[in-house]
Structure 1
């Protein structure tokens, strides 16, 4: 690769069950060993599935404590990142955390996920990230830079909520003198590796399933001042016989933020067989 990536973004499911040994394996295999900044968020396997389903809620507590509170204290400051959370200490035996635990536009699990639970002497309140995201987008309204919104789950009503929020932001920013470049990335459905670009007030907004570790898929986004592209990859298992390359390029979308009309969207799937790639433009009215 001529230019190394600026960062690696991991959209959730860092572990299977949030167990401490799985967290340590992720830390050693990725956070410590990978030679570039990693912007990771939690998925449903890391904490949502484990609330009230793991002894003393220790699994969810472990992921939130180790990954965010302890690690982010130094890692986040070194990267000039601020996390959306608050720590309340009433005594050594009465500590509480609350927030969405989002940073930059790196959300956790889902844009509207919220829960409360206790583990030992610590109370946790996970808030929806909707207000956090609205505030961040408002700050970016007059800035001409790409906005990359990352989370783990974005299906059904959650997808509709995110679309409405983005469409409202685009409309409110329509007189800022530049066209917005915004995209959403997620990975909850591990078998999915595709892009759906929806036109909102004349602005193309890609919604991307980035691939997943269990499915050996990942994506690379290249951005420059005037050009942008998204490349889909498949990583081959070490035991695949007869394959010369460990990485297979599945396809590339040039001009990631292209042009569109207000009533269309496009679909692109990264498939193993390049001849099966289909790019369809279908008419659809987007209520935004």
Structure 2
């Protein structure tokens, strides 16, 4: 009896190893499900969205609960539909924090890893770096710089392509690039554009003897090369960003982006930013930015919403479901879109 139990344990362990190995390489499987969330934005709550009064301690406690509840539901979906969490990609589309402070970044990182381990991807939003340039001291711009350095540590040299490089200039280090990256998961090409594809800014951070320059560029040149590779490989292309509108770039840059995603047949765009408007995005200027490519917003932790995508077995269409109240079993289908 003891030997029989030990044999079963060994068999289960071997099956676990084989299963994990099957998902260890990005091209080894075709994911059936994808999850898109956004705006954990610690510390931020529904009261923050509506401008209601709330103490700092209440806000922090409520925000932590909202994030834990949302990503517990995400983790529960994964457990129900896959033996390996990484087989269901999770993309978090920006605003990881409310202002990019170090304690905010470490708190949200701990909350996410508690529920998802290391098996998630993310991008930066306006609250992580755009809003706090020249508005975060000791040292200067440490909120934006810290958010960028966290992203660099997680992705530099670890994904298919990451638009960030470094050089020495006048005895100081300069990081430059759009921070965009892409990851290949089976037949799906996931591109993360962070805040928005035309965003650019330059700033310095650090104390006088150890200053670092950051030159954040628009992503358009990098994106064209990225989309060319994905289309040549015949993959399903999905773009991710934070802001679906009010971009910093010129009309010419926006027109170039729109032409690119049409030319290279992007299947869909997923974004965040608008916490209380989850689902299919029909903004008044959507066509000026995205043309005929469908756009979906995940809402945010404060609104307790996110999106689940079900890829058809024949890989010819995607079903997009909206989760309300952090309750995936009651998710509602909001769209079926063709793969392009």
The equivalent of 1:88 in structure 2 is: 167
Structure-2 separation of matches of 1:157 and 1:62:
23
Provide closer, same or farther for how the CA distance between residues 199 and 115 of structure 1 changes in structure 2, counting only shifts above 3 A. closer
* Superposed CA offset, 1:250-273 (max 9, x none): 5204532289xxxxxxxxxxxxxx
- Find the counterpart in structure 1 of residue 195 from structure 2: 109
The separation in 2 between residues aligned to 1:257 and 1:226, in whole angstroms, is 6
Which of 45, 54, 57 in structure 1 is aligned with 2:127? 45
Q: Does the 8 A contact of 2:224 with 2:260 survive in 1?
A: no
- Partner of 2:336 in structure 1? 255
Tell me which protein shows more helix as a share of its residues: 2
| Contact 1:96-1:123 at 8 Å conserved across structures | yes
Q: What secondary structure is seen at the aligned counterpart in 2 of 1:256?
A: strand
Q: Matches of 2:214 and 2:248 in 1, distance apart?
A: 23
Q: CA deviation at 1:38?
A: 1.1
Unaligned runs of 5+ in 2: 1-79, 183-190
Unaligned ranges ≥5, structure 1 = 174-179, 237-245, 260-288
Structure-1-length-normalised TM-score: 0.72
Partners of 1:191 and 1:98 in 2: how far apart?
Answer: 34
1:165 maps to 2:257:
yes
> Once superposed, what is the RMSD of the aligned Cα atoms?
3.0
Question: In structure 2, the residue corresponding to 1:46 is in which secondary structure?
Answer: coil
1:100 Cα deviation from its structure 2 partner: 0.3
Match 1:213 to one of 288, 301, 314: 301
CA deviations over 1:82-130 (Å, ceiling 9, x no partner): 3111111358x61110100110111110110000000111110100011
Question: Could you say if the C-alpha distance between residues 137 and 218 of structure 1 is closer, same or farther in structure 2, counting changes exceeding 3 Å?
Answer: same
For residues 142-173 of structure 1, the C-alpha deviation after alignment (integer angstroms, 9 at most, x for no partner) is 333211100001214679866753445544x6
Q: Deviations over 1:211-255 (max 9, x none)?
A: 21121110011214234211100135xxxxxxxxx4463520453
Relative contact order, CA 8 A, sep 6+: which one is greater? 2
Query: Does residue 224 of structure 2 align to residue 134 of structure 1?
Result: yes
Distance in structure 2 (CA, Å) of the matches to 1:87 and 1:23 = 23
Q: By percentage of residues, which structure has more strand?
A: 1
Q: Which of 15, 31, 44 lines up with 2:97 in the alignment?
A: 15
Q: Does the 8 Å contact 1:204/1:258 carry over to 2?
A: no
CA contact (8 A) 1:141 1:169 kept: no
Match of 1:194 in 2: 279
- Asked whether the 8 Å contact 1:8–1:36 carries over to 2, the reply is no
Number of aligned positions between the proteins = 235
Indicate which of 164, 171, 178 corresponds to 1:100: 178
The Cα shift of 1:31 comes to 3.7
In the alignment, is the contact (CA less than 8 A) between 1:181 and 1:257 conserved in 2? no
Question: 3-state DSSP class of the match of 1:135?
Answer: helix
SS of residue in 2 equivalent to 1:29: helix
Query: How far apart are the structure 1 equivalents of 2:295 and 2:165?
Result: 31
Contact 1:148–1:183 (CA under 8 A) maintained in structure 2: yes
Alignment-derived partner of residue 146 in structure 1: 236
Offset at residue 131 of structure 1 (A):
1.4
Please say if 1:72 is aligned against 2:151: no
